[in-house]
Amino acid sequence: MPTNLPHEAQKALAKYQLAKTIPEKIKALEEALSLIPDHKGTEKLRGRIKRRIAELKREAERRASLKTGRRDYFTVSKEGAAQVAIIGSTNSGKSSLLRVLTNAKPVVAPYPFSTDKPIPGMMIYEDVEIQLVELPAILTEDLEETQYTTRSLGFAKNADSIIILLDGINNPLKQLEKILELLEETGITIRPRRGEIVLEKKDSGGIRIVSFGKFDGSYREVEELLKNVGIKNAVVKIYGDASMEDLEETILRESIYKKTLIVLNKVDLVDYETVREVGKAVRDLDVPFLHISVEKKINIEILKSKIFQTLDLIRVYTQKDGVVSPRPVILKVNSTVRDLAEKIHKEIAEKLRYARVWGRSVKIQGQQVGPGHVLQDGDVIELYSD
Ligand SMILES: Nc1nc2c(ncn2[C@@H]2O[C@H](COP(=O)(O)OP(=O)(O)OP(=O)(O)O)[C@@H](O)[C@H]2O)c(=O)[nH]1
Ligand SMILES: [Mg+2]
């Protein structure tokens, strides 16, 4: 953030920090934008403010649509181990994909907008049930926003992960670019974060930095930046590998990270060069990529396992008196024996003493471990409590 912002612009940004409602926030940012001169040095900041305004407007629109009662029709109750939202432009093959991966039978049609509400289907991957939800198209064939864009993206924001399905025969790179913009405006980050900054505003005590990782800014720079937007007292907590840029991001917006898989469809009609180009663009984002053809059944089995991998889940199996349960318990990656116990029953967790584990997380099969032991996919666990 340039430090020589006009005083009035600084005041407007400070007002934004204090604003409580969305209209107040939009007003303060629009004011700031009008007061920040447009040149090379302010380009990034202006861009950020513009995106944040768009995001706030979208959020306001979403809330308004909830009020008018359109909510129920866009709600799908979560079932299975996780919910995955399928988004994309119209005719990209979302319904076709849902048909091959799940038990659902949505309409597949060559004309646009054949799906006008979220459609759930259950995918079975080995012994795990994963709910996939096709969302109405977020882009038209001309890659413009649709009447569903806001609601579909609002839905995706609440899902456990996202599949972006690109139509290989309709300028996929442009599609990707548009979709990334829309996600950003919705406050969804799909690039894995190297670091995380948490900003806790306080009433007194000045600026303090607490670092649990690596940070490229100096104390003075942080203080200057925060002063610029009217924050005089705060604790800045840094986790992992973070930069001054990340701090600016934290100040202006509140986006959430979503695990995402980007899939290029209709490769039966696409030349190799396009597949390569799109693949490269996606890899530059550090997001997993796969090319498929639903029609010709190319890479469908691989897609299933990628969906499971992207969710970062593990399956573990409880054992009681020597009998292993045939149904897995689904946990997040890095879950511990304690997490498992909590998932089964609060009381079991409270009385948990130790466990015996068979599988990849232990060196000796049947090893005795404490509640803090980290489990791995496929482990078998017998819990011992008081
Ligand atoms: N050649 C080819 N055509 C495909 C493939 N997948 C889907 N299609 C065709 O693309 C058209 C659109 O498919 P849908 O599954 O209805 O697309 P959608 O994304 O659900 O579209 P809307 O819900 O209408 O936005 C249909 O004519 C499909 O047969 C594929 O892998 N290859
Ligand atoms: Mg459809």
Residue 269 CA, ligand 1 centroid: distance in Å:
12
Work out whether the CA dihedral 112, 118, 122, 123 comes out positive or negative.
Answer: positive
Q: What average pLDDT is seen over the chain?
A: 91
Tokens 């004309």 correspond to 111
- The tens digit of pLDDT for each residue in 80-97 reads 999 999 999 999 999 999
CA distance 85 to 137: 12
Among protein residues, the one with the nearest Cα to ligand 1's atom 23 is 115
- Asked if residue 175 has its Cβ within 6 Å of ligand 1, the reply is no
pLDDT by residue for the chain (386 residues), tens only, comes to 666 788 899 889 988 988 888 999 999 999 999 999 998 888 888 988 988 898 888 888 877 766 665 555 788 999 999 999 999 999 999 999 999 999 999 999 999 999 999 999 999 999 899 999 999 999 999 999 999 998 999 999 989 999 999 999 999 999 999 999 999 888 898 988 777 788 888 888 899 988 888 888 889 999 988 888 888 898 888 888 888 888 887 887 667 789 999 999 999 999 999 999 999 999 999 999 999 999 999 999 999 999 999 999 999 999 999 899 999 999 988 889 999 999 998 888 899 999 999 999 999 999 999 999 999 999 999 999 88
The CATH architecture to which 72-190+258-310 belongs is 3-Layer(aba) Sandwich (3.40)
How far apart are the C-alpha atoms of 357 and 372, rounded to whole Å? 13
- Write the CA distances from 114 to 258, 297, 365, integer angstroms: 27, 22, 53
Cβ of 89 below 6 Å from ligand 1: no
Which residue owns the Cα nearest ligand 1 atom 32? 266
Q: Ligand 1 atom closest to Cα of 108?
A: 16
State the helix-helix crossing angle for 94-101 and 300-310, rounded to 10 degrees: 90
Indicate if ligand 1 lies below 6 Å from the C-beta of 269: yes
Contacts by 214-222 with C-beta closer than 8 Å and gap 24+?
214/238, 214/240, 214/241, 214/242, 215/242, 215/243, 216/242, 216/243, 216/244, 217/243, 217/244, 217/247, 222/247
Ligand 1 test: best mutation among 87, 89, 96, 105, most atoms within 8 Å of CB? 96
166, with CB counted inside 10 A (0-12, 13-18, 19+), is buried
What is the rounded distance in angstroms from the CA atom of residue 271 to the CA atom of residue 368?
Answer: 55
Of ligand 1's atoms, which has the minimum distance to the CA of residue 165?
A: 19
Radius of gyration of the chain (CA): 24
| Percentage of the chain modeled with pLDDT above 90 | 61
Q: Is the CB–ligand 1 distance for residue 294 below 6 Å? A: yes
Please report the pLDDT score of residue 262 as a whole number.
98
Q: Is the CB of 110 under 6 A from ligand 1?
A: yes
Cβ-contact 290, 307 below 8 angstroms? no
> Among candidates 347, 342, 344, which has minimal Cα distance to 371?
342
What is the 92 CA–ligand 2 centroid distance (Å)? Answer: 8
User: CA–CA separation, 67 vs 53, rounded Å?
Assistant: 21
Maximum separation of any 2 CA atoms in the chain, in Å: 72
Residue type, 70: R
Q: Yes or no: say if 184 and 51 are a contact pair by the CB < 8 Å rule.
A: yes
> Which numbered atom of ligand 1 lies nearest the CA of 134?
20
- Do 298 and 268 contact (CB within 8 A), yes or no? yes
Q: Please tell me the CATH superfamily of domain 313-385, with its number.
A: Beta-grasp domain (3.10.20.30)
